[in-house]
């Protein structure tokens, strides 16, 4: 399972390539804003299904890809929630995998 240290390293890695890294503190808002297009991606490396279930459904219905940190489809057993626009999926998941392996 990803640790807080992984979150910090991933944030640093993404800050070099992203226009802005936001930390809103709410899985529901992060996922809803990704669904709406306000955010290109939402990354939660540690969460619980009750925090993300509704947002995951909304993001999927809006066309976002919703994955676990290993790239598999997000499920109730997922340890992480990553919602991303399809155009950014490959690059974002490469950064996630590289950070978790480093």
Ranges assigned E (strand) in the chain: 41-44, 65-67, 81-84
pLDDT above 70 covers what percent of the chain? 92
For 8, counting Cβ atoms within 10 Å of its Cβ (0-12 exposed, 13-18 middle, 19+ buried), the class is exposed
Measured between alpha carbons, how far is 28 from 60 in angstroms, rounded to an integer?
13
Measured between alpha carbons, how far is 75 from 77 in angstroms, rounded to an integer?
5
Average pLDDT over residues 14-22: 72
pLDDT in tens, 42-60: 998 887 888 899 999 999 9
Under the banding of pLDDT at 50, 70 and 90, the label for residue 88 is very high
Given a cut of 70, is residue 101 above it in pLDDT? no
Number of domains the chain is built from: 1
């Amino acid at each position: 399972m990803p640790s807080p240290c992984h979150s910090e390293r991933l944030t640093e890695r993404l800050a070099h390539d992203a226009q802005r890294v936001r930390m809103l503190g709410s899985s529901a808002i992060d996922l809803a804003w990704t669904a709406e297009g306000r955010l290109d991606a939402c990354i939660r490396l540690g969460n619980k299904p009750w925090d993300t279930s509704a947002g995951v459904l909304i993001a999927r219905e809006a066309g976002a890809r919703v994955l676990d940190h290993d790239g598999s489809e997000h499920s109730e057993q997922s340890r992480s929630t990553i919602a991303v626009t399809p155009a950014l999926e490959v690059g974002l998941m490469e950064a996630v995998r590289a950070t978790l392996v480093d």
